C-alpha cells in the first residue's frame, strides 16, 4: 500500500510539473547602455522595501493589496537588478571612481494599467565636497502589461541616474526633468 501511495504521489507531481506555466524573467537593465563620458559614480549600496524584496514581481491590487506574480521573475534578486541597472546608467564598469552612491529605495510600486513609481533617498559622496543627501520621487505611466511596468521602472531608473549625475556636477540636489 505504501508503495502504491509513493507511485501515485510521484505521478501527481509529474502531472502538476507538466502543467505548470513557465516563468518569465525581466530585467531593469536597459538593452541600450548609457554612453556618457562624464564622471563615473560607483553604486556601493542599494536597499529596497521588504515587501518587494523577492525574486518575483510584486504589483499593487486595489488600495491595500499586493499580488506576488508567481510566473514573473526578476533576472536576479531585486536589489541586484536595481544596482546593476543604476550602475549601467551611471557609466558602466567602475574603475577608479571616487564618487560613491548609496540608495535607500522608499517605494518601488507597480500599479497595472496606471504607473510604476519610485521614491528613493540617496547619498552621494565625492572627494572635496560635502556629502549630498537627496530625495527623488518618480512616476511613469504604464499600461496593464508586465513589459510596460518593467519599461516604466527602467525609465524611472534612467531619470534617477540623471538626477544623480546632475547633482554630482552641481554639488547640490537636483530633481529630474
**pLDDT for 107-141, tens place per residue?**
999 999 999 999 999 999 998 888 999 999 999 99
The answer to whether 77 touches 19, Cβ cutoff 8 Å, is no
Average pLDDT of span 19-44: 82
Give me the mean pLDDT over the 36-64 stretch: 90
Q: In which residue are the cell numbers 523577492 written?
A: 54
- 74-106 pLDDT per residue, tens: 999 999 999 999 999 987 555 566 899 999 999
pLDDT on residue 177: 56
Percent of the chain with pLDDT over 90: 66
Contacts of 102 (CB under 8 A, 6+ apart): 44, 45, 46, 122, 123
- Dihedral angle at the C-alpha atoms of 168, 159, 122, 52, nearest 10 degrees? -160
Region 2-8: mean pLDDT is 44
How confident is residue 34, by pLDDT bands cut at 50, 70 and 90?
Answer: low
User: What are the residue ranges spanned by the domains of the chain?
Assistant: 24-170
Residue 20's pLDDT is what? 67
The hierarchical CATH code for the domain 24-170 is 3.40.50.10610
Amino acid at each position: 500500500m505504501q508503495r502504491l501511495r509513493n507511485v501515485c504521489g510521484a505521478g501527481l507531481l509529474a502531472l502538476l510539473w507538466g502543467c505548470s506555466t513557465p516563468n518569465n524573467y525581466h530585467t531593469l537593465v536597459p538593452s541600450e547602455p548609457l554612453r556618457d563620458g562624464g564622471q563615473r559614480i560607483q553604486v556601493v549600496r542599494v536597499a529596497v522595501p521588504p515587501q518587494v524584496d523577492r525574486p518575483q514581481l510584486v504589483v499593487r491590487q486595489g488600495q491595500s493589496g499586493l499580488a506576488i506574480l508567481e510566473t514573473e521573475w526578476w533576472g536576479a534578486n531585486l536589489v541586484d537588478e536595481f544596482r546593476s541597472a543604476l550602475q549601467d546608467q551611471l557609466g558602466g564598469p567602475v574603475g577608479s571612481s571616487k564618487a560613491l552612491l548609496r540608495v535607500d529605495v522608499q517605494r518601488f510600486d507597480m500599479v497595472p494599467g496606471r504607473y510604476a513609481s519610485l521614491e528613493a533617498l540617496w547619498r552621494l559622496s565625492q572627494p572635496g565636497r560635502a556629502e549630498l543627501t537627496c530625495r527623488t520621487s518618480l512616476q511613469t505611466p504604464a499600461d496593464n502589461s508586465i513589459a510596460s511596468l518593467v519599461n516604466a521602472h527602467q525609465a524611472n531608473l534612467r531619470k534617477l541616474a540623471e538626477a544623480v549625475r546632475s547633482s554630482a556636477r552641481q554639488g547640490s540636489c537636483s530633481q529630474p526633468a
